Structure 1
Amino acid sequence: MTFANVGTLGVQPGRRDEVVEILTRPSSTLAGSGCLSYEVGVSPEHPDTVFVTELWVSAEAHAASLQLESVKASIAEAMPLLTGEFGGFRFDVVGSPLR
């Protein structure tokens, strides 16, 4: 069953584009680790927030990805730019009218 991780990251004022740049760097390791989709978004109504929507083959694949050196490096690079305000949801996808 597909696993979804949909979240928000609070960023330091004026640092949103730097976080987006880190999160949108091409990564060949994500697809190989079970990531089906990784989308990063912004909203004019929330200038200090980055939105991330991830789809994974399983919750276990998502958890395992956090141990990848490339993922650890991206997290370490982004952390000083974040406020520590995180939100979101994790859930199992049960269907879609598109598939």
Structure 2
Amino acid sequence: MYGYLGSMKAKSGHRDEVVAILVSGADGLRAAGCHLYVVGVSESDDQTIHVSEVWDSKAHHDASLQLPETRAAIAKAMPMLTGEFNSHELAIVGGLGVPSTSSPSEN
């Protein structure tokens, strides 16, 4: 399984709009191979948005970025973002709400 942890910064006053865009697309992700999609914000930082995802594979994640609804959401959100992005890719080995997998060394 593949994990993606990302953060982005919204332009001042646009964080909640970007969050709404991100959350609105969550329903269709399960059919694309997504097991977990969580969008979070900090009460002490009014610009940063965090996204945590768990997918069947990196290929599933990458394919989801080509879906028409995903591309439309990205196009809508981009003008409201500062361009500051951070991301981490992970080999998911299990946890609460995530199907158990083999250890990373066995994949």
User: Structure 2-normalised TM-score?
Assistant: 0.84
User: Which aligned runs of 4 or more in structure 1 are off by greater than 6 angstroms?
Assistant: none
SS in 2 for 1:84: strand
SS in 2 for 1:71: helix
Partner of 1:66 in structure 2?
Answer: 65
Q: Provide the aligned C-alpha RMSD in A.
A: 1.6
SS in 1 for 2:66: coil
Kindly name which structure, 1 or 2, has the bigger radius of gyration based on alpha carbons: 2
Distance across 1 between alignment mates of 2:35 and 2:95: 15
- What is the percentage of aligned positions where both structures have the same residue? 42
Partner of 2:95 in structure 1?
Answer: 96
1:35 aligns with 2:59: no
Between Structure 1 and Structure 2, how many residues are aligned? 98
Q: Which runs of 5 or more residues in structure 2 are unaligned?
A: 101-107
Higher relative contact order (CA 8 A, sep 6+): 1
- Encode CA deviations 1:59-99: one digit per residue, 9 max, x unaligned: 11000101100000000000000000001211111233775
